[in-house]
C-alpha cells in the first residue's frame, strides 16, 4: 500500500486483484470466513478500489457472496470471483444477465 499510487499509475496496468485472505495475512489477522473483516483490512480494500477507479484500472475482488453482491455491483466493482453459485445467481438476477447455456 505504501507505493500503491505509483504502482497503479504505471501505463499498461489493466487489473488489480484484492483478496481478503491475502490482505488479512499481510496485517497478521485471521481471515473471517463470514466476511467480517477488521477495519484495517476494509480500509485497505477501499483505498485500492479508490486508486483503481482513479487510474482506470479494473478492480477484481474475491469475497463476494449472496448477501453482499448487489451492493458491490451497484457501487464498486467490475470483475468478480463468486464464492458460490448463490452469489452468481443473485448477481445475474440483479443485472438481468442470463447464462447462454
Give pLDDT tens digits for 43-72: 999 999 999 999 999 888 776 777 778 887
Share of the chain above pLDDT 70, in %: 90
* Three-class secondary structure of residue 64 per DSSP: strand
Q: Give the cell for residue 92.
A: 445475474
Question: Taking the domains of the chain in order of start, what are their residue ranges?
Answer: 14-95
Distance CA 7, CA 28 (A): 23
For residue 81, the surrounding DSSP H or E stretch is: strand 79-82
Q: How many Cβ atoms from other residues are within 10 Å of residue 18's Cβ?
A: 19
pTM attached to this predicted model: 0.73
Buried b (16+ CB within 10 A) or exposed e, 38-57: eeebeebbeebbebbeebeb
Amino acid at each position: 500500500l505504501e507505493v500503491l499510487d505509483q504502482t497503479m499509475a504505471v501505463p499498461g496496468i489493466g487489473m488489480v486483484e484484492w483478496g481478503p485472505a491475502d490482505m488479512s495475512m499481510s496485517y497478521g489477522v485471521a481471515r473471517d470466513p463470514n466476511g467480517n473483516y477488521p477495519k484495517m483490512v476494509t480500509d485497505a480494500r477501499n483505498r485500492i478500489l479508490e486508486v483503481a477507479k482513479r487510474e482506470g484500472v479494473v478492480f477484481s475482488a474475491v469475497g463476494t457472496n449472496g448477501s453482499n453482491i448487489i451492493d458491490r455491483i451497484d457501487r464498486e466493482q467490475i470483475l468478480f470471483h463468486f464464492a458460490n453459485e448463490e452469489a452468481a445467481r443473485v448477481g445475474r438476477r440483479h443485472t438481468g444477465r442470463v447464462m447462454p447455456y
